[in-house]
Amino acid sequence: MAEPQKQYITPETKKKLEEELNALIANRPVIAAEINERREEGDLKENAGYDAAREMQDQEEARIKQISEILANSTTERQAIIEGVAHVGSVVHVYYNDDKDDKETFLIGTRAAASDNKDLETYSEQSPLGAAILGAQEGETREYTAPNGRTIKVTIITAEPYDSAKAATPRA
């Protein structure tokens, strides 16, 4: 079985995620001490401080797992992305159902890949839209089935490698 394709993230995003991960890991002993302190207060069934500390621990452990998975499945090395073809790591400008006024610009990839551009919509390559347009060239129209069962036509206006400075403005 082929290994899944790694998702591109910017070096800045990788650094932010690593810093957050290190801070969360460093905070583990603090939370463990808080849990132990609250446990010593007695009855755990009616101990709001204990419950809050355990909830904090659960949230932080979930975030540690999430960040670890993102880092394990990502790369800061750009793959060869052909301008004009929709790939993972491409910013794609499209219009829907032959309506040239119904336009959208988005990144094919993960939210982490564009963490420096919160305004840029992101679609996974596994999403119905992302899967439908992978490999599509500028001017090409593809169809996909939306989660509500509706068939939607999407036409590629432009597709270009992600660059946060260019992502906000389509060429066409």
Domains identified in the chain and CATH numbers: 7-75 (1.10.287.180), 90-161 (3.10.50.30)
The HSE-up count of residue 128 (CA atoms within 13 Å, CB side) is 12
Cα 60 from chain centre: 19
Coil, strand or helix at 98: coil
Cα(142)–Cα(95) distance, integer angstroms: 11
Per-residue pLDDT tens digits for 68-111: 998 998 887 766 567 788 988 889 999 999 888 889 999 888 77
Which 8-state DSSP code applies to residue 169? S
- What is the structure's pLDDT at 89? 81
